């Protein structure tokens, strides 16, 4: 079964625009779980422009499903994750001021750093995943860090999907097969949507997890949160 982890960063962005606690990030996370999501994802950044470190601390004891924390491994992030001990940490190569993730790790170049960080988290019993581009070589080097999973960066797939689905997914199939050969679990995320998710899952059905935030929150504005979460879950049943 491929799990749906809902990224609630955009909920925090909306809250922060006015201050206060509306919408309530914790309540939305619990509602996503109640509507069927099997996980919650957050990506706290050093400037706390959406998810705040306090949100992470508040979410952990309240959630009933898997908690996934994404981020670049600065010391404050390492300290937060090792304190909270989520089910999974996903390491991304984002600069602190980057608007959103737009590439995966160069796992060959950053091998020493990643191997050290993975060891730190695994010593705390936290499953580790590396955010990578759909390039088999990057997956091979990711495996050498002793990480548990890779998360495929799917924005290029989403961009090409309307014009040529087969061509869009081709590099992801070879990368997914490489991950399976290397004994790595497989996640995917970034710009997956109701338009393109079912096809992605149909072609690569051994996905462990998809992390979806921006598109899901946008859909919820029109469909409502419960209908939206259930619609994404339906895409993963094909």
**Count of CB atoms within 10 A of residue 66's CB?**
18
Cα separations (Å) of 121 from 58, 80, 207?
Answer: 20, 11, 23
Find out whether 157 and 198 touch, Cβ atoms under 8 Å: no
Decide if 83 is catalytic. no
Of the residues 43, 66, 151, 201, which is catalytic?
A: 43
Decide if 124 is catalytic. no
Query: Count of residues for the chain?
Result: 238
**Count of CB atoms within 10 A of residue 85's CB?**
14
Of the residues 33, 190, 201, 209, which is catalytic?
A: 190
SS3 232: helix
Q: Which of 151, 159, 215 is nearest to 185 (CA)?
A: 151
Residue 97, burial from CB neighbour count under 10 angstroms (0-12, 13-18, 19+) = exposed
Of the residues 33, 50, 66, 70, which is catalytic?
A: 70
Decide if 50 is catalytic. no
DSSP string, 62-94: H-SSEEEEEE---HHHHHHHHHH--SEEEE---
The dihedrals phi and psi of 172, each to the nearest 5 degrees, come to -75, -35
Q: Which residues are catalytically annotated?
A: 43, 70, 190
């Amino acid at each position: 079964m491929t799990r749906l982890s809902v990224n609630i960063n955009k909920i925090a962005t909306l809250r922060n625009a006015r201050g206060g606690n509306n919408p309530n990030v914790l309540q939305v996370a619990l509602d996503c779980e109640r509507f069927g999501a099997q996980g919650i994802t957050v990506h706290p950044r050093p400037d706390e422009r959406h998810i705040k470190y306090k949100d992470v601390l508040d979410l952990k004891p309240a959630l009933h499903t898997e908690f996934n924390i994404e981020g670049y491994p600065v010391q404050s992030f390492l300290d937060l994750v090792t304190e909270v001990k989520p089910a999974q940490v996903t390491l991304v190569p984002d600069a602190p001021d980057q608007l959103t993730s737009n590439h995966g790790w160069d796992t060959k170049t950053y091998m020493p750093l990643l191997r050290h960080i993975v060891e730190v988290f695994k010593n705390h019993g936290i499953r580790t995943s590396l955010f990578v581009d759909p390039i088999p070589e990057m997956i091979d080097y990711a495996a050498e860090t002793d990480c548990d999973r890779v998360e495929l960066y799917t924005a290029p797939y989403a961009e090409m999907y309307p014009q040529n689905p087969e061509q869009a997914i081709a590099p992801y199939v070879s990368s997914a097969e490489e991950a399976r050969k290397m004994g790595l679990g497989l996640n995917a995320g970034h710009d997956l949507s109701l338009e393109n998710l079912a096809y992605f899952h149909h072609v690569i059905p051994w996905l462990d997890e998809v992390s979806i935030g921006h598109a899901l929150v946008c859909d919820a504005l029109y469909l409502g949160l419960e209908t939206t979460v259930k619609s994404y879950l339906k895409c993963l049943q094909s």
